A = this chain, B = another copy of it.
Amino acid sequence: MQVRSPAEIQMTTEINEREQTLLKMLIESYVRDGQPVGSQKLARDSRLNLSPATVRNIMGDLEALGLVSSPHTSAGRIPTDKGYRLFVDSLLTVQSLDNDEVQRLKQEIDTDESVEVLIERVSSLLSGVTHMAGVVVAPRREHQVLRHIELLPLSDQRILVILVMDKQEVQNRIIRTAHAYTPSELQQVANYLNASLGGADLQTVRKRLLADMRETRSKLDRLMQRALDMAESVFAETAAQDDCVIAGQTNLMEFSELSDIDRLRSLFDAFNSKQQILHVLDQCLGSPGVQIFIGQESGYEPLNNCSLVTASYGVNNRAIGVLGVIGPTRMAYDRVISIVDATARLFSAVLNQRH
């Protein structure tokens, strides 16, 4: 399993082995208990035979490096975002999930449902297993292959367009036309479009259409002309749509560090609007392996005390979407990473097998 930092984040800080050990213990302890960790506890647990005083000195150094901080003078230390980052990048040992757990996940994912439903399911699954919020970005539509197109008259000048995509997904659009078509005209238009466009992905379809229109506008008979007009209005809005399913938001209410109601609210509102989240997640698309954003790194304010662990999924080794988990920075990264990684693999496998 491969874990990558977002490209722009570079860790230059170097610390020696003893400091590493202590930082690691500190983070593990803090993640477990949620309490600032004091020098005494750390000295005792670390098995390094150091006195609390020595540990304190080291903590002083780590604090100077910006890896830990103390909430106030007489409390222990807690990791900073930078501390988590170092931890995740070089201290963390991720053990893969044991086989039982993988099987359990597989069972949940490998069902017969439509992709749409499956996405919801995976999202809930992630949320359920991690007790945080699960998120799945739906496959980017542009890259999907168009299998078939149907046109049905609804009323004069209104046509229901049904696009059957690859992998059992179906999209419906309603378009208005300047002219009223007879059912048989519609059938002809559909036939033409199916013949000339089926099997290409939406982006390609769109380009090809525009080209056709430019080149042959004058030569076409009226019907084909109309077909192209119509198709253009269908595919016009195709680009922007992709969607993002978030499940288990309420899990986040359990984390004391998020329970300030205003922060929580802004987070939930962010989930609802999704736009920004999508943008953050988009950055993960394409890069292989598990990606992690910690706290501020996402550059998106409502996610400030949160981390984002994601992995892309896809078919034929081409990433088509991203899934992951959103939770407080203070999360059990090792576990979450394994889960997200496994889920992405399993989900890809299911999509692949549906071919």
Query: Which residues of A pack against B, CB within 8 Å?
Result: 112, 114, 147-148, 150, 152, 154-155, 158, 160, 162, 164, 168, 170, 172, 174, 176, 249-250, 253, 259, 261, 264-265, 268-269, 272, 355
Chain B: CB-nearest residue to A114: B174
Copies of this protein in the assembly total: 2
Q: Which residues of B contact A170 (CB under 8 A)?
A: 160, 162, 170, 172
Chain B: CB-nearest residue to A113: B174
Q: Which residues of B contact A162 (CB under 8 A)?
A: 150, 162, 170
Contact assessment for A112 and B172 in the assembled complex, using a CB-CB cutoff below 8 Å? no
Q: Which residues of B contact A265 (CB under 8 A)?
A: 250, 253
Partner of A249 from the list B168, B259, B268 (CB cut-off 8 Å) is: B268
Partner of A261 from the list B112, B164, B174, B253 (CB cut-off 8 Å) is: B253
Smallest CB separation, A238 vs chain B (Å): 16
Smallest CB separation, A172 vs chain B (Å): 4
Q: Which residues of B contact A114 (CB under 8 A)?
A: 172, 174
Chain B: CB-nearest residue to A175: B112
Smallest CB separation, A240 vs chain B (Å): 14
Smallest CB separation, A40 vs chain B (Å): 33
- Residue of A114, A155, A170, A264 most packed against chain B (CB within 10 A): A170
Given A150-B162, A268-B250, also A155-B355 (CB < 8 A): yes
- Beyond A158-B168, A261-B261: 17 further Cβ-contacts under 8 Å? A112-B176, A114-B172, A114-B174, A147-B152, A148-B152, A150-B150, A155-B355, A160-B164, A160-B168, A162-B162, A162-B170, A168-B174, A170-B170, A170-B172, A249-B268, A250-B269, A253-B268
- Bound-complex Cα distance A272 to B268 (A): 13
Given A148-B152, A164-B160, A170-B162, also A272-B259 (CB < 8 A): no
Q: Which residues of B contact A147 (CB under 8 A)?
A: 152
Q: Which residues of B contact A172 (CB under 8 A)?
A: 114, 170
Contact assessment for B249 and A253 in the assembled complex, using a CB-CB cutoff below 8 Å? no
Partner of A272 from the list B154, B164, B174, B250 (CB cut-off 8 Å) is: B250
Partner of A164 from the list B152, B164, B168, B355 (CB cut-off 8 Å) is: B152
Chain B: CB-nearest residue to A266: B250
Chain B: CB-nearest residue to A269: B250
Chain B: CB-nearest residue to A354: B155
Q: Which residues of B contact A168 (CB under 8 A)?
A: 154, 158, 160, 174
18 pairs of residues in contact across A and B, judged by CB atoms under 8 Å = A112-B174, A112-B176, A114-B172, A147-B152, A148-B152, A150-B150, A150-B162, A152-B164, A154-B168, A158-B168, A160-B164, A162-B162, A162-B170, A170-B170, A170-B172, A250-B265, A253-B264, A253-B268
Q: Which residues of B contact A250 (CB under 8 A)?
A: 265, 268-269, 272
Q: Which residues of B contact A272 (CB under 8 A)?
A: 250
- Bound-complex Cα distance A152 to B272 (A): 35
Q: Which residues of B contact A355 (CB under 8 A)?
A: 155
- Bound-complex Cα distance A272 to B248 (A): 9
Smallest CB separation, A351 vs chain B (Å): 14
- Bound-complex Cα distance A172 to B174 (A): 16
- Bound-complex Cα distance A160 to B168 (A): 7
- Bound-complex Cα distance A250 to B152 (A): 40
Q: Give 5 nearest A-B pairs by CB, closest first.
A: A170-B172, A250-B268, A253-B265, A250-B265, A250-B269
